[in-house]
């Protein structure tokens, strides 16, 4: 069996935060938990997370594609998007689709876990 849609999406999304690798802890019908690894050579550079989403509600591959383009074109600095994102044309998406996908992206929240408690979130903003 291959990777779940959720894990594929997480690998793309967490690149925006400098994550190099994800260690999956658990996948259930309603959530995914894992460890975001920022530097595979430094055991301190890790963040446990939980994402409350079902496989069926995972964002589309179109959103994965947009995230990859944002990352490749360096249109972000961590969780903050460059003002240039509004002016950047992506041939794969018309303006309406791009706006819809960006709004979907802004709605994603993946909770960080520290010492067994949810403390903060991975999310992006303009």
| pLDDT, tens only, 60-79 | 999 999 999 999 888 888 77
Quick one: pLDDT band at residue 45, thresholds 50, 70, 90?
Answer: very high
The number of domains in the chain is 1
Evaluate whether residue 98 is within a structural domain.
yes
Q: Does the predicted TM-score (pTM) go above 0.85?
A: yes
Q: Distance (Å, rounded) from C-alpha 63 to C-alpha 105?
A: 7
Evaluate whether residue 50 is within a structural domain.
yes
Evaluate whether residue 122 is within a structural domain.
no
Evaluate whether residue 16 is within a structural domain.
yes
Evaluate whether residue 108 is within a structural domain.
yes
Kindly state the average pLDDT of the residues 1-23. Answer: 93
Q: How far is CA 21 from CA 6, 41, 75, 86, in A?
A: 14, 11, 21, 29
Say yes or no to pLDDT of 118 above 70: yes
Range of the domain at 33: 5-115
Evaluate whether residue 121 is within a structural domain.
no
Evaluate whether residue 46 is within a structural domain.
yes
């Amino acid at each position: 069996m291959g990777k779940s849609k959720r894990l594929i999406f997480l690998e793309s999304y967490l690149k925006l935060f400098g994550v190099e690798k994800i260690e999956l802890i658990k996948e259930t019908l309603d959530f995914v938990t894992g460890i975001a690894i920022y530097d595979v050579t430094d055991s301190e550079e890790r963040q446990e997370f939980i994402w409350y989403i079902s496989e069926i509600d995972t964002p589309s591959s179109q959103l994965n594609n947009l995230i990859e383009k944002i990352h490749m074109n360096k249109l972000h600095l961590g969780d903050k998007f460059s003002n240039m994102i509004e002016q950047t044309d992506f041939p794969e998406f018309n303006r309406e689709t791009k706006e819809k996908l960006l709004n979907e992206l802004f709605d994603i929240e993946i909770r960080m876990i520290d010492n067994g408690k949810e403390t903060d979130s991975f999310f992006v903003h303009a």
